[in-house]
Amino acid sequence: MSDATPEQASPETRMECGVCWHVYDPAEGDPVWQIAPGVAFADLPSDWRCPECDAPREKFLRCET
């Protein structure tokens, strides 16, 4: 994982929750929050939280794999 902030991630970058390790993949979106595929992590709503553990966006780190 990288120290890059979510806003520094490219639109196709997968982001991983630092609490539960859930991976947000822009190609898949987030069905729990009704986020369509193709939405970059930086473009998620400001109140979006991890669908697995309810951690805030700030707990996500760029996934290197």
Q: Of 3.40.50.10440, 2.20.28.10, 3.40.50.300, 3.10.20.30, which CATH number belongs to 10-48? A: 2.20.28.10
| Alpha carbon distance 37, 60 (integer Å) | 18
Residues 6+ apart with CB under 8 A from 13: 26, 40, 41, 62, 63
Where along the chain do its domains lie?
Answer: 10-48
What is the pLDDT confidence band of residue 31, given thresholds at 50, 70 and 90? very high
Convert the pLDDT of each residue in 41-53 to its tens digit: 999 999 999 999 9
Per-residue pLDDT for 1 more than 80? no
Which own/partner pairs from 47-51 qualify as long-range (CB within 8 Å, at least 24 positions apart)?
50/17, 50/19, 50/20, 50/22, 51/22
Give the bridge partners for 38, in sequence order: none
Among residues 61, 65, 58, which one has the least CA distance to residue 21? 61
